[in-house]
Amino acid sequence: MDTAIQGEATAKNEFAAASRKIATLFDSHRDTTRSDYQRGKSEVTSKYETGQKKALKDHQEKIKPVDDCVGIADNYRQRLAFLAADYKKFKLSPDAPPPSRESYDKLNNPGDELFNRWPGWKRPSSSCKG
């Protein structure tokens, strides 16, 4: 009977020691896995944020000419609105003047005709130095 009681106590001690060892190994692996997970998660998050910032910067660089054109167009609109208000004050007609009756289609070089009509203009000589 004493041998059985002693064997049972030894078995319980071995079981308790093995159980504690398994629990310790489990906790160790769980902590290692948790730290690996957190490290990987922070690495992925930082790479994602870096990629997002780079993509935003690239997008802003590519869209900058369009934004600049929009700003220029807005400035034109504001200036035209200002001029339209001034034209109302002077009671000027907002319509474009009618086209000229004269046609330059019959001329070989309409530019020459315009220069010839201007009285103070002299054609530069072909022997210009410069």
DSSP character string of the chain: -HHHHHHHHHHHHHHHHHHHHHHHHHHHHHHHHHHHHHHHHHHHHHHHHHHHHHHHHHHHHHHHHHHHHHHHHHHHHHHHHHHHHHHHHHT---SPPPPPS---TT-S-HHHHHHHHSTT--PPPTT---
> Can you give the pLDDT at residue 90?
75
pTM (2 decimals)?
A: 0.42
pLDDT digits over 50-105, tens only? 999 999 999 999 999 999 999 999 999 999 888 877 777 777 776 777 877 777 77
* Ranges of each domain in the chain: 2-92
- 130 or 49, greater pLDDT: 49
